[in-house]
Amino acid sequence: MTATTWILAADGNQARLLKGVNLLKDGQQSPEQEVFRWEPKKAQDIMADKPGRSHSSVGHGRSAMEYSSDPVREEQQKFTAEVAGLIDGYAAEGAFDRLVVCAAPQTLGDLRNKLSDKSRTLTVAEIDKNFSNLPTDKLIASVQATIGR
């Protein structure tokens, strides 16, 4: 019996999950796909509501408060956490035996932090490249070339 291999290709705005990939097979494959998208917003759209003003502790002045972090990055981290949660659910169900994660470097780090121990145990390779926009056959070929068979 062959292991069920899934490939997750992600960046901070989209993710593709290829289910049932045979990394030993050359040529055309048509694995089931699941696509997740987050519509990226610009920082100015996210920050449309001004953060407010604070009163000075000395005197009568007031000043605008600054955002303490990058709101676009926070949105990407939320998206990555949602994708990790879906992968974890599939792992808990035993839907796959092996997972290959291909992601932009920052997203790969986010996924590492968010995936459950079970999902990380099933991860056989991590590729720090953004393959999320590649056609399916090129994505599979790129994974085969990077990790071998």
**3-state DSSP assignment of residue 99:** strand
User: Is the full-model pTM beyond 0.95?
Assistant: no
The per-residue pLDDT for range 78-99, each reduced to its tens digit, is: 999 999 999 999 999 999 999 9
The per-residue pLDDT for range 114-136, each reduced to its tens digit, is: 999 999 999 999 999 999 999 99
Each domain of the chain, given as residue ranges in start order, spans 5-38+70-147
For the chain, the straight-line distance linking the first and the last C-alpha, in angstroms and rounded, comes to 16
Average pLDDT of the residues in 90-113: 95
To the nearest 10 degrees (0 to 180), the angle between helices 105-114 and 71-93 is 50
Compute the distance between CA of residue 73 and CA of residue 120 in angstroms, rounded to an integer.
23
CATH topology classification for 5-38+70-147: Nucleotidyltransferase; domain 5 (3.30.420)
**Is-contact 10 110, C-beta < 8 A?**
no
pLDDT at 55 over 90: no
